[in-house]
Chain A
Amino acid sequence: MTREMTGAKMVVQALKDQGVDTVFGYPGGAVLPIYDEIFLQNDIRHILVRHEQGAVHAAEGYARSTGKPGVALVTSGPGATNAVTGLTDALLDSIPIVVLTGQVPTFMIGSDAFQEADTVGITRPCTKHNWLVKDTDSLSATMHEAFHVATSGRPGPVLVDIPKDVQFANGEYSAPKPSSSHYQPVLKGDLEEITELVAAIETAKKPVFYTGGGVINSGPAASQLLRELVDATGFPITSTLMGLGAYPASGENWLGMLGMHGLYEANLAMHDCDLMINVGARFDDRITGRIDAFSPNSKKAHIDIDPSSINKVIRVDIPIVGDVAHVLEDILKIWKSRGRKTDAANVKQWQNQIAEWRKINCLAFTNSEKTIKPQYALQRLEELTKKHDRYITTEVGQHQMWAAQYLGFEDPNRWMTSGGLGTMGYGFPASIGVQMAHPDALVINVAGEASWLMNMQEMGTATQYRLPVKQFILNNERLGMVRQWQELLHGERYSHSWSEALPDFVKLAEAFGAKGILCSDPTDLDDAIMEMINYDGPVIFDCLVEKHENCFPMIPSGKAHNEMLLGEAETQGVIDSKGSVLV
Chain B
Amino acid sequence: MSALHIKKGSTRHSAYNLRPTFSDVQERHTIAVLVENEPGVLARVIGLFSGRGYNIESLTVAEVDHTGHLSRITIVTTGTPQVIEQIKAQLGRIVSVRDVHDLTVEGASVERELAIIKVVGEGDKRVEALRLADIFRANVVDSTLNSFIFEITGAPDKIDAFADLMRPLGLIEIARTGVAALLRGD
Partner of A311, one of B12, B21, B47: B21
- Asked whether B15 lies within 8 Å of A310 as measured between CB atoms, the reply is yes
Shortest A315–chain B CB gap in Å is 6
- Asked whether A183 lies within 8 Å of B93 as measured between CB atoms, the reply is no
Interface: A86 (CB within 8 A): no
Q: Interface extent on A, as a size class?
A: 20 to 34
Shortest A524–chain B CB gap in Å is 51
Interface: B145 (CB within 8 A): no
Contacts of A132 in B (CB 8 A): 39-40
- Asked whether A307 lies within 8 Å of B89 as measured between CB atoms, the reply is yes
- Asked whether A312 lies within 8 Å of B86 as measured between CB atoms, the reply is yes
Interface: A308 (CB within 8 A): yes
Partner of A186, one of B12, B36, B40, B90: B12
Per the CB 8 Å criterion, the residue count for chain B at the interface is 27
- Asked whether B85 lies within 8 Å of A311 as measured between CB atoms, the reply is yes
Contacts of B86 in A (CB 8 A): 308, 311-312
Interface: A182 (CB within 8 A): yes
Contacts of A251 in B (CB 8 A): none
Interface: A299 (CB within 8 A): no
Known: A307-B89, A307-B92, A308-B90. A182 touches B15 (CB 8 A): no
Interface: B161 (CB within 8 A): no
Q: Report the Cα distance A329→B21, complex, angstroms.
A: 30
- Asked whether A193 lies within 8 Å of B16 as measured between CB atoms, the reply is yes
- Asked whether A121 lies within 8 Å of B43 as measured between CB atoms, the reply is yes
Shortest B65–chain A CB gap in Å is 14
Known: A310-B15, A311-B15, A321-B12. A182 touches B43 (CB 8 A): no
Name the residue of chain A whose CB is nearest to the CB of B96.
A129
Known: A124-B43, A306-B93. A311 touches B98 (CB 8 A): no
- Asked whether A307 lies within 8 Å of B43 as measured between CB atoms, the reply is no
Interface: B175 (CB within 8 A): no
B115-134 CB contacts (< 8 Å) to partner A: none
Shortest A288–chain B CB gap in Å is 15
Shortest B134–chain A CB gap in Å is 48
Q: Report the Cα distance A312→B21, complex, angstroms.
A: 10
Interface: B107 (CB within 8 A): no
Q: Report the Cα distance A205→B16, complex, angstroms.
A: 26
Name the residue of chain A whose CB is nearest to the CB of B87.
A308
Shortest A91–chain B CB gap in Å is 12
- Asked whether B18 lies within 8 Å of A149 as measured between CB atoms, the reply is no
Interface: B44 (CB within 8 A): yes
Shortest A123–chain B CB gap in Å is 11
Interface: B14 (CB within 8 A): yes
Shortest A494–chain B CB gap in Å is 34
Contacts of A183 in B (CB 8 A): 95
- Asked whether B43 lies within 8 Å of A190 as measured between CB atoms, the reply is no
Q: Report the Cα distance A40→B11, complex, angstroms.
A: 46
Q: Report the Cα distance A311→B39, complex, angstroms.
A: 31
Contacts of B89 in A (CB 8 A): 306-308, 310, 312
Q: Report the Cα distance A152→B39, complex, angstroms.
A: 22
Q: Select the residue from B11, B12, B22, B36 with max chain A CB neighbours within 10 A.
A: B12
Q: List 8 A-B contacts (CB under 8 A).
A: A120-B40, A149-B95, A193-B16, A307-B13, A308-B89, A310-B15, A315-B21, A321-B15
Binding site for A on B (CB under 8 A): 11-16, 18, 21-22, 36, 39-40, 43-44, 47, 51, 82, 85-86, 89-90, 92-96, 98
Q: What 6 new A-B contacts, CB under 8 Å, besides A307-B12, A310-B15, A312-B89? A: A121-B43, A129-B96, A154-B93, A182-B36, A307-B93, A311-B85
